[in-house]
Amino acid sequence: MKTFIITLITCFALPISYAQENKFIISTSFRFNNSNSETEIQKHSNNFTQINPRIMYKLKNKWGVGFLYAISKDKTEDNDNIYSKLTGNKFGGFIQYNLIDITKFQLFSELNASYTTLKHKSEMDTFNDISSKGAFLNINMGARYNLYKRFGIELRLNDLISYSSTKLDVSETKSSSFNLLNNPFQQLSYGISYSF
């Protein structure tokens, strides 16, 4: 893992050293999902929150490369009692391509590759705490509008196409999945950006 991180830093060191004005974009996106259901005998709710900061270096033409990090929390409750909590950390890199690049507006596609760790804690006696690790690839679409010279807002459709491979730490169980347009409007994220 250390070799992977050192390789990524080395790959980005050369172009970063030649950075000019407005060659970098720092952005942070936020995702929120909340669902509730209730019957005569049961209440069920689920809350998901993710914060995803990134830094990108703009290359010539319409390309950009960068690093990303994300932290997420997912909490499920039944009858006002916490049933389970899921905490995730993700870090990796991405390549971004501007499909439309006008002075104040950019429409872009993005390929992300990331490494993720998940910790699952359950309040039920039948389950133990579980942790897992995995690799993820996903393709996103997004739009950025610059309100001022350097400050902008972003809207992203995440995980339009995604592939994941995960392994549970305890049982060494491995699983993989491929998704195409899996509820894309539930994967919306909103963000802010700053160019320098």
Q: In 3-state terms, what secondary structure has residue 8?
A: helix
**Looking at the 3D structure of the chain, how many domains does it have?**
1
* H or E element in which residue 62 lies: none
52-79 pLDDT tens trace? 999 999 887 789 999 999 888 887 776 6
127-140 pLDDT tens trace? 556 777 888 898 99
Q: Would you state the pLDDT for residue 128? A: 59
End-to-end CA distance of the chain: 30
What is the extent of the structural domain holding 83? 2-195
CATH of residue 117's domain is 2.40.160.20
User: Whole-structure pTM over 0.75, yes or no?
Assistant: no
The burial of 155, by beta-carbon neighbours within 10 Å (0-12 exposed, 13-18 middle, 19 or more buried), is given as middle
Which residue reads 């309040």 in tokens?
123
Q: Tell me, what DSSP letter sits at residue 43?
A: E
d(CA 83, CA 188): 26
